[in-house]
Structure 1
Amino acid sequence: MTKPSEEVETMDDATPEGSKPKGIQRAKLTAVIVAVVVVALAGIGGGYAYWTHHEGNAYHEAVAQAENADKALSKVVDGATATTYKADQLKEPKLLDKLDATIRKAKALKGVPNDAPSEWLAWQLASARKANATDADEADAQAKALNAALKAVSDSKLAKELDTAKAQLKQGIDGAGKILRDTDGKVADNATRDSLTKAIDEANNTINKKGVTDPKTYTDQKAKLDAAVKRVTDSKAAKEQADAEAAAQAQAAAQAQAAQAAAQPQSSYSPSYNSYGGSGSGYSSNRGYSAPQQSYTPSNNGGGSSYSGPTITGGGIAFGCTPSEPGCDGTPGAPDAY
């Protein structure tokens, strides 16, 4: 009689593999699947962690670039608005309209909101990174456009200043040439005219110079020309003043001489009176003859007297003289002789 244990052992060894119960096969398959899933999840988890890490770094770099670009743009806008330009300062006034439009567009750039994405959500990090990168690109573009508009306005202003300074120098040359012609022989120091001639030549050389980019080149030369002109005009004024003073002195001397001549004494004229009470001319005249002589003899016969008429002696005639007068013959009442 066979023992029970022996019967069982004999049957297990004799049973084929395919005839074993199915529960044992499914348990092994489940274990394999679980192992595969675990491995897969582990790989996926590592890849996701790498993705979030990469997007996080890229996001922070984009934020820094956007901030720097926004600051640079803000600085350019401040500089553009701080400088005031006028249309009459520019060679092309319409450039101001373009500059104003560019400033308005730059100010309208809002930047990126400060909403920080989750560090574990890779897709949020990626979206925020793109937004900041776009903002940085736009800010850079606006800054470049604004700088270009500012440069265009500045260049136009410089071109206008160059044209104005050059025109003023040309006008100064024309005026200096006229002064040089008009002052020939009319200055106190002719060396001033020589200096003006030299300054005019230098100014003409500056006018003809090519590639001038600084208005100061023209304004400095204009200042030298103006100084040379002033020296000539001052010398002309000095000569005019000296000539006026000399003329005044000559006139004063002529007037003094005339006054002195008027004050000198003329030929003397003193009237004389003869015994008849008339006046004479103050001088005696000898006409080549002597006064006639007359005699007067008092008479004792009855108080009468005798008078002999004048006697011409070949000289002058004497009438009514007194014994003390020259030419009188001593007879009282004799005429004067002249």
Structure 2
Amino acid sequence: MTKPSEEVETMDDVTPEESKPKGIKPANLTAIIIAVIVVVLAGIGGGYAYWTHHEANAYHEAVTQAENADGNLTKAIKEATATEYKADQLKEPKLLGKLDDAVRKAEALKGVPEDQPGEWLAWQLASAKQANVTDADEANTQARALKAALKAVKDSKLAKELDTAKAQLKQGIDSAGETLKDTEGKVADNATRDSLTKAIDEANKTIGKKDVTDPKAYTGQQAKLDAAVKQVNDSKAAKEKADAEAAAKAKAEAEAQAQAAAQAAAAAAQSQRSYSKSSTRGYSSGKSYTAPKKSSSGYSAPQRSYTAPKQSAPAPSNNGGGSSNGGAPLPKVYGCSPSCVPDYSPIVR
């Protein structure tokens, strides 16, 4: 490799005299050439330094974006796997398979290596920057796909819940209508039936709405309807209980009256039997009495049995009906012969 001074001399020797620059001395020309070389080298070095600095900034920015994208994807995976969904919970069960596929693809992303490129190696910085840019794009794409799949599953689940709640409310309205029909005149408080009628009307209005997005709109009306039905049934049960108690009371009173009447009749019968016994009891004596007999010819004197006492008196004489020894004459008794002795014993009646 030749020295710069030798190259200058050679040029001076080769260059014709008439083509040499005029007014520039050889020493000055050498200085100019050296300055140009320095400027060129400085320019090259400065350009590389600028390129390296630019790539370094771009790399760090790409790393930040990749980290944010990876973080968002991780959150999306956790949200998608936090709740277990079942096919029978969805209006469209096939959406559950799409969600599972999106989760698998998201979990398959590896991110970027943690190796740090050289700070003054522009080509390494550029390569690492591109790797992080690609990772961020893939993570963002998978996160969007995962969120969309999860939203579709949630919307399908919500649609199924809306359909179920609406169908249950319709059944509740029909059942409440039957209750209202069957309890006419059978409740203790008819105001409960008025409340049930109002609840049925409100439930029908909710069924007719087109913009219902929350199942609670249906389940809330169902709860009100159930409460109104319960009040009617409770009122019906209260009336049935009151009627049963009134019937039992009336029956008990009737039985008590019947029992009292039976007891009174039994007492009256017992009293009648006692009086009959006392009235048939007669007077008892040592003597017998025969009631007089009636005859067609007139009155017959009562027949009496009498035993005359034995006396030691002389036989009466036939003179004048008097006593033989001066005793008092016997009284004359009607219907009795002179030889009979009248019975003066008391008559027992």
Q: Which TM-score applies when normalising by structure 1?
A: 0.74
Distance, in Å, in 2 between the alignment partners of 1:71 and 1:114 is 15
CA contact (8 A) 1:73 1:143 kept: yes
Distance, in Å, in 2 between the alignment partners of 1:53 and 1:293 is 177
Partner of 1:249: 249
Partner of 1:296: 304
Partner of 1:56: 56
1:225-264 alignment, distance < 5 Å:
225-264=225-264
Larger radius of gyration: 2
Partner of 1:25: 13
Counterpart AA for 1:296: R
Partner of 1:167: 167
Partner of 1:105: 105
Task: Give the Å deviation of 1:90.
Answer: 1.2
With over 3 angstroms needed to count, the CA separation of the structure-2 counterparts of 1:302 and 1:137, relative to structure 1, is same
**Percent identity of equivalent pairs:** 66
1:19-168 alignment, distance < 5 Å:
24-25=12-13, 31=30, 36-168=36-168
Partner of 2:3: none
Counterpart AA for 2:243: D
Partner of 2:327: none
Q: Secondary structure in 2 aligned to 1:91?
A: coil
| 1:82-114 deviations in Å (ceiling 9; x for gaps) | 112122211111211111111111111111101
Partner of 1:180: 180
What residue ranges of structure 1 are gaps of 5+ in the alignment?
1-20, 278-290, 304-328
Per chain length, whose mean CA-contact separation is higher, i.e. which structure has more relative contact order (CA < 8 Å, sep 6+)?
Answer: 2
Distance, in Å, in 1 between the alignment partners of 2:300 and 2:116 is 163
- Residue correspondences, number: 275
Q: Secondary structure in 1 aligned to 2:304?
A: strand
Task: Give the Å deviation of 1:54.
Answer: 0.9
Q: Which TM-score applies when normalising by structure 2?
A: 0.72
With over 3 angstroms needed to count, the CA separation of the structure-2 counterparts of 1:39 and 1:257, relative to structure 1, is same
Q: Secondary structure in 2 aligned to 1:294?
A: coil
Counterpart AA for 1:154: K
Partner of 1:331: 347
Distance, in Å, in 2 between the alignment partners of 1:191 and 1:103 is 57
Q: Secondary structure in 2 aligned to 1:296?
A: coil
The CA RMSD over aligned residues, in Å, is 2.8
Task: Give the Å deviation of 1:236.
Answer: 0.1
Distance, in Å, in 2 between the alignment partners of 1:86 and 1:190 is 46
Counterpart AA for 1:102: A
Distance, in Å, in 1 between the alignment partners of 2:309 and 2:119 is 189
Task: Give the Å deviation of 1:266.
Answer: 2.6
